[in-house]
């Protein structure tokens, strides 16, 4: 019997990753992510999958970021009851991310109803915090390098992918076919995470292409961040830094700590981490010492070099403080959360600064800010942007195009097929072309909803 893959997300876009692997009458879903960015993509979150959730037999997660795992609470709410296999780090992070995602969606729905911002009456959350809590027991933790059996006749092996805590590449074996899912690959020179493991042999490879058309600059995060924060501190302004609560928040905290130690920014510059999710994630680094480069002293500094803001009252109180100060707040692409309130409060003042720290998906507020917009829409109103906007080019947690090719070359032999996924159309096609030209391998960019053999 043949084995095929249906691309239900992460095709032609960097979000919504969902890859349905079918063999005989069994179905395994690799990743189960939310769509983000453009409204037409976000609307896909409300469209039913082409099969009933209770027909999915098992789910494997490459990592915990919501564009790879955040649809799972809805899948469970609608009838999925199988196991969700994930690394230990991913399991720990999902316990933070999923309830927070449900809470934010509830808050957004309440806000939309209170201010009549939705065409639907009432506006409803995609899922709630309680839905997310009820889905968490489905997760079964997996050790890197250990072969597991998600279903009879199926084998899976997780290997470290760098990127964030728990991030994995997954080798799935069924009916004599070996399918390798890269997941999101980290950088070999990442400031805090270990490099990805070498790629195992496979017949079919799904390779991410977030930066498939770009090479990271020679500048490192410290050399980019230091002059920006020095400028805003000198003029007494406030730097609002939208950060991904998992990964980039910790890298920025570590970088700021190092810059203070080197004397490149004032040691007295107040730093606030305003995201309960990021605060909890930062403490997880103590529990997974083998996955990152940080020493015990570095890990201690992560949790002590900034004021950790947990309550909404503490968050609101920041608005009454005067600069200079730095506020790190989720989310990284300014799609929701507390960072929106800080942007609305500080974006209008030219003394202030907005620091963008990672990839900004088209259609997000972060992308709007990156393109020098004079205003950005927040909570139903247009907010003027007079603050200096700085987009860091060296803060990405994704491998660049050259690093992706280096990872593919670690495979012992050429695969029979490569599917280029998790990238916008331009970067995905550029990487496809390079794989074909430089490696001589068959490669294609699958369309959303298409089904292809392995």
Q: What is the CATH number of the domain that holds 100?
A: 3.60.15.10
Vertex 382, ends 377 and 384: CA angle to 5°?
105
Write down the pLDDT at residue 227: 97
Cα 209 to Cα 290: distance, rounded to the nearest angstrom: 27
Judge if 443 and 366 occupy the same domain: no
pLDDT at 110: 86
- 255 with 228, same domain: the answer is yes
The tokens 């409204």 sit on which residue?
A: 39
Query: What integer pLDDT is reported at residue 1 of this predicted model?
Result: 60
Domain boundary among 360, 391, 422: 391
Q: Which domain holds residue 385?
A: 221-391
The pTM for the full model equals 0.91
Give the separation between CA 68 and CA 49, rounded to whole angstroms. 15
Strands 451-453 and 147-148 come out as: unpaired
- The total domain count for the chain is 2
Asked if 411 and 380 sit in the same domain, the reply is no
Do 353 and 274 lie in one domain? The reply is: yes
Amino acid 277: pLDDT: 85
User: How far from the centroid of its chain's Cα atoms is residue 18's Cα?
Assistant: 14
How long a stretch of residues is the chain?
454
Do 434 and 306 fall within a single domain?
Answer: no
Cβ atoms 405, 434 nearer than 8 A: yes
Query: Do 84 and 179 belong together in one domain?
Result: yes
Tell me: do 384 and 416 sit in the same domain: no
User: Which residues of the chain are modeled with pLDDT < 50?
Assistant: none
Domain boundary among 351, 373, 391: 391
What's the order of all strands across the beta sheet hosting 139-142?
139-142, 83-87, 58-60, 26-30, 18-23, 3-9, 451-453
């Amino acid at each position: 019997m043949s084995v095929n893959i249906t691309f239900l997300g992460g095709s032609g876009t960097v979000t919504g990753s969902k890859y349905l692997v079918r063999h005989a009458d069994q179905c395994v879903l690799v990743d189960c992510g939310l769509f983000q960015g453009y409204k037409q993509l976000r609307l896909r979150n409300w469209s039913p999958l082409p099969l009933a959730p209770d027909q999915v037999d098992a789910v494997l997660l490459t990592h915990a970021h919501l564009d790879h795992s955040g649809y799972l609470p809805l899948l469970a709410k609608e009838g999925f009851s199988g196991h969700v296999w994930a690394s230990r780090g991913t399991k720990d992070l999902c316990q933070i991310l999923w309830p927070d995602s449900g809470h934010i969606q509830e808050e957004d729905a309440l806000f939309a109803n209170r201010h009549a911002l939705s065409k639907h009456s009432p506006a409803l959350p995609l899922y709630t915090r309680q839905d997310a809590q009820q889905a968490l027991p489905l997760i079964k933790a997996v050790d890197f390098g250990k072969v597991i059996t998600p279903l009879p006749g199926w084998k899976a092996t997780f290997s470290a992918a760098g990127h964030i805590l728990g991030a994995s590449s997954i080798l799935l074996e069924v009916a004599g076919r070996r399918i390798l899912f890269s997941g999101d690959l980290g950088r070999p020179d990442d400031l805090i995470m270990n490099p990805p493991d070498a790629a195992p042999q496979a017949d079919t490879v799904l390779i991410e292409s977030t930066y498939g058309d770009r090479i990271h600059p020679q500048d490192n995060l410290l050399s980019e961040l230091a002059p920006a924060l020095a400028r805003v501190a000198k003029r007494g302004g406030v730097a609002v830094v939208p950060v991904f609560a998992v990964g980039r928040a910790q890298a920025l905290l570590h970088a700021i700590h190092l810059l203070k130690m080197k004397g490149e920014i004032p040691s007295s510059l107040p730093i606030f981490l305003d995201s309960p999710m990021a605060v909890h994630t930062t403490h997880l680094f103590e529990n997974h010492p083998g996955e990152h480069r940080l020493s015990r002293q570095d890990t201690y500094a992560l949790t002590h070099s900034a004021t950790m803001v947990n309550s909404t009252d503490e968050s609101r109180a920041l608005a009454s403080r005067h600069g200079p100060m730095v506020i790190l707040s989720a989310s990284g692409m300014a799609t929701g959360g507390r960072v929106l309130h800080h942007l609305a409060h500080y974006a209008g003042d030219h003394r202030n600064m907005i620091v963008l720290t990672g990839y900004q998906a088209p259609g997000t507020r972060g992308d709007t800010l990156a393109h020098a917009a004079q205003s950005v829409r927040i909570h139903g109103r247009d907010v003027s942007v007079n603050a200096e906007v700085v987009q860091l080019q060296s803060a990405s947690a994704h491998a660049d195009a050259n690093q992706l090719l280096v990872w593919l070359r670690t495979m012992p032999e050429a695969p029979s097929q490569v599917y280029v996924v998790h990238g916008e159309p331009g970067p995905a096609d550029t990487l496809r072309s390079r794989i074909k030209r430089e490696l001589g391998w068959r490669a294609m960019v699958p369309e959303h909803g298409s089904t292809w053999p392995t």
